[in-house]
Amino acid sequence: MNDTERANATFVMLCRNKDINGVVASMQSVEDRFNHQYNYPWILLNDEPFTEEFKQRVSVLTRAPLEFGLVPSEHWVQPDWIDEDRARSGRSKMVAQRIIYGGTFCIIRYRNMCRFNSGFFFQHELLQPYRYYWRPDVKFFCDLQYDPFRYMQDNDKIYGFTISLLEWEATIPSLWSAVKEFVALYPQHVDPQNAMDFVSNDGGATYNRCHFWSNFEIADLDFWRSEPYQAFFDYLENKGGFYYERWGDAPVHSIAAALFARRDQIHFFRDIGYRHEHFQHCPQGDQWVAGRCSCDPNDSFDTHPDSCVNKFESLFS
């Protein structure tokens, strides 16, 4: 495919040198199932410099342009104004509740990652030339017969997902209160044709915990760069919930897309089969056949009690 037919888009992965085996598996999966036909570029970001071994291992996987970027420390390190005693207390509470990524040093890194993916990755200099991105930290099961980036562009979509599920309430106890405060202060940012009914069962009084799983997301970078989202992230940032609690980029992105975009600008890529431990989405019927999918069609999170796919689809029924 020539450049005039492609969207202005890139793959982006946040990874560490020690993640090399997983990165190689994800990249090979994407290249084999899709990108060998399109050669969309890759951007790999790290909070430490990539080793030469890492660069060599991934460079043989693709003919597409490949760039390596360093995350600025101000976009990664816990801000000085965060009350560390309060943050430590919150982490200890989550450890006692046996919440994954609740405490310990490596979990501070997890919070750094959630904050970076929520408010800073799209500001990185390497992403500035691009309009769309795809986070593919996953295993792909099916061939893609079309270009999802062009689908996003041609159909005015701002966010695409394949798995949606319930967030762990103990990680976000005050997030929805902050969202309601923001909406009360900036009602002009809420789209009249929003998807509030995806994230709330009572018109916005409470959060039903539904969110799109962001380890797979295809989205419009200009949406995150927009005034509504920038104001939203800044408001959440000032609350400190990324560190005092464990606010994830998945619910932050999902709530923003649900409130600040039209509901028809969010797309469920039901024909893209993928797995990210411990859940997977497997296409069904003719889509499973057409994609030469290797997954078991009887094993798909869509039918799990904690899936929010039916909730999303009810927006259009």
Residues taking part in catalysis: 217
What letter would DSSP give residue 55? Answer: H
94-116 burial code (b ≥16 CB/10 A, e <16) = beeeebebbbeeebbeebbbbbb
User: Where do runs of H (alpha helix) occur along 99-226?
Assistant: 105-119, 148-154, 175-185, 196-199, 221-225
Q: Name the strand (E) or helix (H) holding 289.
A: helix 285-290
Taking the C-alpha atoms of residue 113 and residue 118, their distance in angstroms, rounded to an integer, is 8
What letter would DSSP give residue 35? Answer: I
Q: 223, 229 in Cβ contact below 8 A?
A: yes
Q: Name the strand (E) or helix (H) holding 267.
A: strand 266-268
Taking the C-alpha atoms of residue 305 and residue 262, their distance in angstroms, rounded to an integer, is 27
Taking the C-alpha atoms of residue 24 and residue 194, their distance in angstroms, rounded to an integer, is 38
Taking the C-alpha atoms of residue 94 and residue 168, their distance in angstroms, rounded to an integer, is 11
